[in-house]
């Protein structure tokens, strides 16, 4: 008998002919219950929670954006997701065609957008599109600048999962980022900056 067949048979035997399948009570706050997407309070909460992780939040208007991004890039080498590279002509290298890992490693800063952001947890969510970029882009460079539109900010985790279901079903990789990389492995003392980007700037567009 194959391992597959044996494991499935053993599980069926263990459960018996009529296992008790409990219903799932979903009485917790569902999507929409914690505030409306893009609502001023929700966006303000997002900015506050991101800052709690010692990431830096910059709020600006659409027209100020190029200047803000240029300032954050400074004199550093910059790579951007295909969509965002267009906004920084001559400043950022486009990750299209994709850079090698070594070339990415030589870059100081990565600029991307995101799929959505979660207010309650101060999370940005990346989904591998031309906006968010592929996963390595926001992982290898030491500094990540992520642009978030106010209308992309959802209130809670259930709001986010609801919105991401089609993306996940399509098979796209999804990454939740909540602050810069961190560890508490030494005496539970939090240290920011381990293997992922050590600096995270979130540019919030009103």
Partner 1 sequence: MTGGFPVRARQELGDAQLRRNLGKATTAIREKRAHAIAELPDWEQLRDAGAAIKAHALATLPEQLERLEAAVTAAGGTVHWARDAAEANAHVLRIARDHDVAEVVKVKSIATDEIGLNEALAAGGIDVLETDLAELIVQLAGDTPSHILVPAIHKNREEIRTLFEGTIATDSLSSDPAELVAAARSFLRERFLRARMGVSGANFGVAETGTIAVVESEGNGRMCTTLPEVLVTVMGIEKVLPRVQDLEVMLQLLPRSSTAERMNPYTSLWTGVQPGDGPREFHLVLLDGGRTDTLADEIGRQALRCIRCSACLNACPVYSRTGGHAYESVYPGPIGAILTPQLQGLDRAPTLPWASTLCGACFEVCPVKIDIPSVLVHLRARVTREVESGRTPEALAIAAIGQAFRSRRRYELAQRLARIGRGPLAMRIAKAPPGPLRAWSRSRDLPTVPEQSFRDWWRSR
DSSP code per residue over 77-125 = -EEE-HHHHTTSTTTEEE-SSPPPHHHHHT-SEEEE--SEEETTTTEEE
CB 131 within 8 A of CB 112: yes
Which residue, 77 or 178, has its beta carbon nearer to partner 1?
A: 178
Which residue, 36 or 194, has its beta carbon nearer to partner 1?
A: 194
Shortest distance, position 172 Cβ to partner 1, whole Å = 7
Shortest distance, position 136 Cβ to partner 1, whole Å = 6
Which H or E run includes 144? strand 143-149
Torsion sign (Cα): 194, 197, 201, 206: negative
Shortest distance, position 105 Cβ to partner 1, whole Å = 6
Which residue, 113 or 179, has its beta carbon nearer to partner 1?
A: 179
Which residue, 68 or 111, has its beta carbon nearer to partner 1?
A: 111
Measured between alpha carbons, how far is 47 from 121 in angstroms, rounded to an integer?
A: 10
Measured between alpha carbons, how far is 186 from 86 in angstroms, rounded to an integer?
A: 42
Shortest distance, position 147 Cβ to partner 1, whole Å = 19
């Amino acid at each position: 008998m194959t391992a597959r067949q044996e494991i499935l048979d053993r599980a069926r035997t263990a459960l018996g002919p009529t296992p008790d399948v409990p219903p799932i009570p979903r009485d917790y706050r569902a999507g929409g219950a914690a505030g409306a997407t893009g609502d001023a309070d929700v966006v303000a909460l997002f900015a506050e929670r991101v800052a709690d992780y010692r990431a830096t939040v910059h709020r600006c208007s659409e027209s100020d954006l190029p200047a803000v991004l240029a300032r954050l890039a400074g004199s550093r080498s910059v790579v951007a997701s295909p969509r965002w590279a267009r906004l920084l002509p001559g400043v950022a290298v486009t990750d299209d065609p994709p850079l090698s890992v070594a070339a990415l490693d030589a870059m100081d800063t990565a600029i991307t957008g995101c799929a959505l952001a979660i207010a309650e947890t101060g999370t940005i969510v990346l989904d591998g599109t031309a906006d968010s970029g592929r996963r390595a882009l926001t992982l290898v460079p030491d500094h990540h600048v992520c642009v978030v539109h106010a209308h992309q900010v959802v209130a809670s985790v259930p709001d986010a999962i609801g919105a991401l279901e089609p993306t996940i079903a399509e098979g796209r990789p999804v990454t939740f980022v909540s602050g810069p990389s961190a560890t508490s492995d030494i005496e539970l003392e939090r240290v920011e900056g381990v293997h992922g980007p050590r600096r995270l700037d979130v540019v919030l567009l009103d």
